[in-house]
């Protein structure tokens, strides 16, 4: 079948007027001999978005390599078949949530209708809500599965489809082999014919507000406000996402003073008009919050990403604002959790293996177990005995008994608790970092990130690293190299290369799971904060030179 024939078959089953018009216009240009249009069409039909452990994620548009109602319908129908085959004969229950991105509500309603039409019990959350609320609802309602329609902090043109499993999986994101089994069912649906023929039903249930209320109550309980929180001045941004409504309810329940808001970013807006990339990690994304916090003399800033599963914190310095790294905040929250869990048999701290090994030092200091996992909370949330987990990409899990995924709202409450406790004894968040160094020594972490237009460059670079591994970075020799693609112990593997250096530093390479980036993660120790930073700067320079 030619690409044009494939496109016409796709067009015949597409229920969305916008993507139909987009594809019809593209086909007309192709038939008129437009070579650019032919190339565009080919790029949309050169395969399909692959369903994996991150579910689906991509740019909205027509065709199987874009996010659209046809692709989502195939995914929902395939997931329904998977759940039915795994069950005991009773109808599985699936909870569906959605954020404020373009088409999130449409994709969620389509999914609810298709789940219900396939004989499942579909429960749609009552409105656009943060991803952590959906993750909570899967456990709270004892559902068999959950779906969250979100692309988290991806660019504005993207959307995604994130899948959770209940039961023995405890409400965590899917991992292998479930991802491959679900993908096979989705492919079978796509191969069988038109999504217009899939059964739908509109008698799915809208979840009661009690579910949201239960999330608010459990999250407020993470760190109820002490008296020292009175008068605390802080700034908040939702990054044009869905975090503020739920965050405000949690703050009021927990008793914290409400923040000064970055008003231009507080309401959901799928176009993300004030940021080029709605991720607090990206340069410029928090500039508006710095302006507001500077005018109001804030003690600190808290930022959620658009679906509020991540959180960033910034603190004032003598020459502006400093955003804490994901590792800075992860170690502060890890220390908080370790103190609370000290003496608890089997309690552990967990982080992804690209996050700071300082968490292991904290665990050792307080007699807790420590687990390093593959990247992603689908792995971190499964660590035995975990009382706290984090990854350096601003993801934190402070309440694993109620949510089995990163949660930027509960983590924000934990940060407020730390800040209020410090305030009560005349200290700041900056001084909490000094106290952390006194506990475990001076550690510093950094990242070298290479963004590419052609993703094949990333695979080629990883192949070259494997074929000709580095023997040194700068003046530090590589003492040990680990290729984690196929671990010798039979554990799950990942496309990760880790190098342990003679001076105690560490360099890890891995492709990003959500963006066209090759990332290098760097960790060093020093005799002082200044020494650690000097070592980190030198290591960053040597890694950049190596990748040049």
Residues annotated as catalytic are 152
Name the one residue in this structure whose structure tokens are 């593959």. 374
Placement of tokens 């038109």 in the chain: 194
* Whole-number CA gyration radius for the chain: 24
Q: Other C-beta atoms within 10 Å of 143: how many?
A: 22
Among residues 282, 281, 265, the alpha carbon closest in space to that of 273 is found at: 265
Helices (H) and strands (E) in the chain, counts: 17, 22
The two tokens of residue 287 are: 């500039």
User: Beta strands of 283-428 (E only): which ranges?
Assistant: 300-304, 311-317, 320-323, 348-352, 369-373, 386-391, 395-397
* Nearest of 354, 299, 362 to residue 497 by alpha carbon: 354
3-state secondary structure of 405: coil
Furthest C-alpha separation in the chain:
74
Residue in the block written with tokens 């993703």: 455
Q: Is 72 strand, coil or helix?
A: helix
Cβ atoms of residues 302 and 288 within 8 Å: no
Question: Quick one: tokens of 274?
Answer: 């004030």
Of 152, 154, 151, 161, the residue nearest 94 (C-alpha)? 161
What's the DSSP call for residue 54? T
Alpha-carbon span 259 to 235, nearest angstrom:
5
CA distance 296 to 143: 44
Helix (H) or strand (E) holding 139: helix 131-140
Residue in 217, 224, 277, 280 with CA at minimum distance from that of residue 246 = 217
Nearest to 369 by CA among 345, 339, 401: 345
Q: Which residues have CB under 8 Å from 147's CB, separation 6+? A: 76, 79, 94, 95, 96, 97, 108, 111, 134, 161, 162, 163, 164
Tokens representing 383?
């660590």
Token pair 């009382």 in the structure block, residue:
387
122 Cβ neighbours under 8 A, 6+ residues apart: 93, 94, 96, 111, 112, 113, 115, 116, 204, 205
Name which of 82, 57, 84, 81 is nearest 71 in CA terms: 57
User: Does residue 278 contact residue 285 with C-beta atoms inside 8 Å?
Assistant: yes
The residue with tokens 């039961």 is: 167
């Amino acid at each position: 079948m030619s690409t044009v024939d494939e496109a016409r078959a796709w067009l015949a089953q597409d229920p969305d007027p916008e993507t139909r018009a987009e594809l019809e216009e593209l086909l007309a240009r192709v038939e008129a001999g437009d070579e650019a249009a032919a190339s565009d069409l080919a790029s949309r039909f050169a395969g399909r978005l692959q369903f994996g452990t991150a579910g689906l994620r991509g740019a909205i548009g027509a065709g199987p390599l874009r996010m659209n109602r046809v692709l989502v319908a195939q995914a929902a129908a395939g997931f329904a078949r998977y759940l039915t085959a795994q069950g005991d004969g009773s109808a599985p229950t699936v909870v569906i949530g959605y954020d404020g991105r373009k088409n999130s509500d449409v994709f969620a309603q389509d999914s609810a209708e298709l789940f219900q039409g396939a004989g499942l019990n579909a429960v749609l959350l009552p409105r656009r809500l943060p991803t952590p609320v959906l993750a909570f609802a899967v456990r709270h309602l004892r559902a068999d599965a959950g779906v969250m329609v979100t692309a988290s902090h991806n660019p504005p043109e993207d959307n995604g489809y994130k899948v959770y499993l209940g039961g023995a999986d405890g409400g965590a994101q899917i991992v292998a082999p479930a991802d491959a089994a679900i993908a096979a069912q989705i492919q079978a649906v796509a191969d069988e014919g038109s999504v217009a023929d899939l059964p739908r039903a509109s008698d799915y249930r809208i979840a009661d507000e009690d579910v949201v209320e239960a999330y608010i109550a459990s999250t407020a309980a993470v760190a109820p406000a002490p008296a020292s929180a009175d008068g605390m001045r802080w700034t908040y941004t939702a990054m044009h996402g869905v975090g503020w409504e739920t965050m405000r309810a949690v703050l009021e329940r927990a008793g914290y003073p409400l923040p000064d808001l970055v008003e231009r970013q507080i309401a959901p807006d799928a176009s993300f008009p004030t940021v080029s990339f709605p991720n607090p990690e990206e340069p410029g994304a928090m500039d508006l919050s710095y302006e507001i916090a500077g005018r109001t003399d804030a003690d600190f800033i808290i930022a959620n990403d658009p679906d509020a599963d991540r959180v960033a914190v910034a603190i004032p310095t003598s020459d502006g604002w400093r955003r804490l790294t994901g590792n800075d905040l992860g170690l502060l929250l890890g220390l908080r959790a370790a103190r609370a869990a000290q003496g608890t048999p089997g309690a552990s701290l967990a982080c992804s293996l690209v996050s700071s090994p300082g968490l292991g030092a904290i665990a050792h200091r307080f007699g807790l177990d420590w687990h390093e996992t593959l990247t992603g909370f689908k792995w971190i949330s499964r660590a035995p005995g975990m009382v706290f987990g984090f990854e350096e990409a601003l993801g934190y899990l402070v309440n694993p008994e109620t949510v089995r995924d990163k949660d930027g709202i509960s983590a924000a409450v934990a940060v407020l608790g730390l800040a209020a406790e410090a305030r009560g004894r005349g200290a700041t968040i900056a001084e909490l970092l000094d106290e952390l160094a006194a506990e475990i020594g001076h550690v510093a972490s950094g990242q070298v990130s290479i963004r590419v237009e052609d993703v094949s460059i990333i695979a080629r670079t990883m192949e070259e690293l494997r074929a000709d591994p580095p023997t040194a970075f700068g003046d530090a020799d590589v003492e040990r190299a680990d290729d984690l693609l196929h671990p010798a112990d039979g554990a799950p593997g990942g496309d990760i290369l880790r190098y342990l250096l003679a001076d105690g530093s560490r360099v890890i390479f891995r492709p990003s799971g959500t963006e066209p980036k090759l990332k290098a993660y760097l960790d060093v120790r020093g005799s002082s904060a200044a020494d650690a930073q000097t070592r980190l700067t030198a290591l960053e320079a040597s890694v950049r030179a190596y990748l040049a």
